[in-house]
Structure 1
Amino acid sequence: MNPFQVFVDGAAQGNPGPAGIGVVVCDGSGQVVATRSRSVATATNNEAEYLAVLEGLRLALDNGAEEVVLLSDSELVVQQLLGNYQVRSESLRRLWDAARALMQQFRRCEVRHIPRDQNAHANRLAQEAASAAREAADAGRTVNLQSAVVEPHRANALSQGGRSSVKIAPSILSADFRRLGEVVRELQVAGADWVHFDVMDGHFVPNISFGLPVIESLRSETSLPFDVHLMVTAPERYLEAFVKAGANIVAVHAEATYHLHRAVARLKELGVKAGVALNPATPPELVRPILPLLDVVLVMTVDPGFAGQRFLPFVLDKVRTLRQWIDERGLPVEITVDGGVTVTTAPECVRQGATVLVSASGIFQSGLPLTEAVNALRRAALAAQRTLA
């Protein structure tokens, strides 16, 4: 079987300045299976090129690629990834480390330099995203990252029964709150797929964490999707505010609202991915009628409210049931597991059907640098996923 081809490009309007990345992923037959255009608040040209490499490799993994050819028109990035040029810049070194770590997730990853005219599609996507970032900066607003992401073939692939590569969503609940801006930037470099926010109100759960100001202030620090988990009573009161603050995915608890369908429908109207969260003892039947409306079902594998709790294995029965229902109907719905997720517990979560792993202490309290912690969790997940093939 021929390898996937991953075309990547980055563009910055200023150096540094508002930037964008473009990615085109083709399968072994040359068919385009996914594209991505994403704005970045500010980056140099070379940083944007590396961010495109990271995005392209993650998107290839997400589409099941095991062998890839990475194609870029940046001579510098290609030669650095091949080890022919030194990486002197500290900011580029972090991105290089993350790229090399992602390359190791494939059975084979070849890197090639191509002329600009052979990279026209990715270049156009990058230029469009950079222009959107410039317009947003001129208007004094943040970029709507959700609308900047284009994956036309993604839902079709899932509807045919395929399971996406597992996404890693570090929860900043266990991060150092004194340096959250640095943390979310580091998570992007580390190869995280989403940034997870556990919003707690001290009423639905016995703890108070953070809210709208934190999400809004961090939105400009990264282009990663913000995955907001609302552990609050009557969440429908706050949906529009969290979307305006920068949320891309919002999950409400089935136990926290009398009008679950209305809340989900409102999220879809607001243009974000809609999720429903279930506490450990809540049966999956509560979401079965609205599964076709959902993008995410978040399954709590601890009782919500605090980080660092012990994983509850009995919840895996619920994950397995949801996976069966989703696959039977060919739905493009992610199953997220949240709570006690580590390199030890993640493999069984994946084997039972999880496609998104939320981890707080498992990443931030692992004792490893963030890039190593994220990649260790991803390796554990991918190893488990390969046993399902």
Structure 2
Amino acid sequence: MNKRTHAYGTVVTAVTAAAATAAVLLASAACSSPSRSDSSSNAAAGQRTVRPVDGCGAKSWTDPKDLSPTRAPARCLPGSPPPQPLSEPRKLTIATGTLSAEYVAPLQVALDKGEFKKEGLDVELKVLPTPDALPLLAKGDIDALWAAPEAAVMNGIKGGFDIKWVAANFSPDPRSKSGLWVRLKEGESASRVTMAGRRLGTMIGKGSVIAYPMEKALEQHGGGLADIQYQQLGSADVLTALQNGGVDSAWLLDPVWRKVDARQGYAFLGGQPQGEPLGGMLYGRTLLQDDIDAGVALLRAYIRTVNSYFASDYKKNATFVTYLSKLLKSDASILQSTPPLRMDWEIRSGTTTRLQSAYEAQGVAEGSPLPESRTVNRALYEEAVGHAPSR
């Protein structure tokens, strides 16, 4: 099976792989994790008492319906929300497609700085492609997945598995040009490009969350997801193919787009929507139902890490960039060469609806679209920051 990891935390596979994953999830849906002794094992998230949290005031929550690209991400004070150690320690495994990408940095820092341990959590980060991780999440062999609500996830939910997107990861800085780039033909300009019929070089295949922003960019330039030819390439080959004419356009990630930025003959057509995260933490039955206390504690540690280390432009701190580069095993100068990610734990309204529309356009969606109530659960991060939404 051909698998490639990209900067949104998802792993892209062929459509057949997504279908196979959904089939495994359907077979696994009846298997639930062992119940916990804590009170959370008998309490649904909607029945839990949400109390105010020190250091998390009005700015710790934003209305999910606010889709403004200039929306300021929710923030608590550094060190908040404060730890609330569980009565009994828990060992949790989080699967992620990579440990070296910048979007994984909050988890890496939380682990290194002991933020999980402050909650009574012994967390292991395990590298697994999303299609391999989903069946394990279904069986309770892993507890969470740092990825995205891609087509395989949506199809798995339709197959009967209880899995939800519970916290987001990031949205791009306005200065970022990670996204769709095109080689201009004679007579074309960045404002007037015809994309229909072009060959798109990408390590991102069908069924990835990136289909949504790609669809928006294509439609603005006379094309659509069904009007282009996909050429899946290795991460090291995408830029080369664009430069030597092997493909007409390409989806370039950080920091690769720097190689063509401001160069004559290339144009940036668009990337991930600002202010709208497309990935983050996914939970299965274990942390959604069987052990909600641990599910909230895990998000509390993650949110506290964002507030303490990633609340603003963390790349202005050279010492922190050096620390981060060592943690991610990356080059500090490369890390410094791109704008910081806007770390954001909140999920916007309608994102999974828009994603599913893009999957349908690509021909990888199975059955009818899922309502947001089946795909998203904001209650756990709201509890972590002390926000009790009106009922």
TM, length-normalised to structure 1: 0.24
Query: Normalized per residue, which structure has more helix?
Result: 1
Higher strand share: 1
Q: Which structure exhibits the higher relative contact order, with contacts defined as CA atoms closer than 8 Å and separated by 6 or more residues?
A: 2
Q: TM-score, normalised to structure 2's length?
A: 0.24
